[in-house]
Amino acid sequence: MQEVVILTGAGQIGMAIARRISQGKKLIIGDKDIKNGERITKIMVEAGFDAIFVKTDLSSRTSIKEMIAKAQSYGNIAHLINAAGVSPSQASIETILKVDLYGTAVLLEEVGKVIKDGGSGVTISSQSGYRMEQLGAKKDQKLAMTPTEELLSLEFLQPKNIRNTLHAYQLAKRANAKRVMYEANNWGKRPARINAISPGIIVTPLAIDEFNGIRGDFYKNMLAKAPAGRPGCADEVAALAELVMGPAGSFITGSDFLIDGGATASYYYGPLNPENESGMREGNQ
């Protein structure tokens, strides 16, 4: 049977990864935005890939299962690329938690039930999850192992306990890493592998929204004082994903890879440290 790649989130990072691993495979592109999904699908088809678009709402288990069923109608699901999500400047606390936290957990769970033996997946998280206070072992375990339909009922995930959309985003990305660790055990029963990648500032339309948003000056300061001194590009994330998802990464599962030009290192041990840099005090971004 034909091998199938699922890409959720029709954006620059997801498309760059798909270009590296989808040759000769059926590519299912899922996105809630029909216009954007069809545009990215057209680009991939014109580049020689066998791609179709399926409208998918990551906040809905029903929608996720319908997308998976469509993928299975073409063959065995060999790879998952989850690059879907919303940013702090794009959505409310509730929407961020529903899409980035709950939706990712459901997607990993449902694809893990059907992924091909020897298959692999990545979910795109964020450096932001590294720059918030430690939650402690008990809360981390709840983020990792709470049944998906109970996740948003956790007390510390209630909107009243979340400071703002940035805090919600950080919690979601912390949850992504913990959920990948948990799901690696379930995927491994097939056996298959699942990992997370946490990019820093990558030049994409979403990043441009952030640069033009209320925290734009903060992000410009981050770029100036991080070791790399520049933003990243989608192909750099894709190069890492290709390694992690491919044969060379066959011993890698349940991990989260930080690719942020050293911004997090600078935050903890360099010029972006909050004790030395007042610009970092805004929510420990």
CB-CB contact of 39 with 144 (8 Å): no
Q: Which of 174, 182, 180 is nearest to 156 (CA)?
A: 174
CB-CB contact of 92 with 117 (8 Å): no
d(CA 186, CA 109): 8
Q: Which of 191, 59, 54, 168 is nearest to 120 (CA)?
A: 191
Q: Which of 116, 9, 88 is nearest to 54 (CA)?
A: 9
Known active-site residue 169? yes
d(CA 250, CA 116): 14
Catalytic, out of 25, 98, 173, 225? 173
Catalytic, out of 26, 32, 142, 169? 169
CB-CB contact of 117 with 191 (8 Å): yes
Known active-site residue 55? no
Active-site residue list = 169, 173
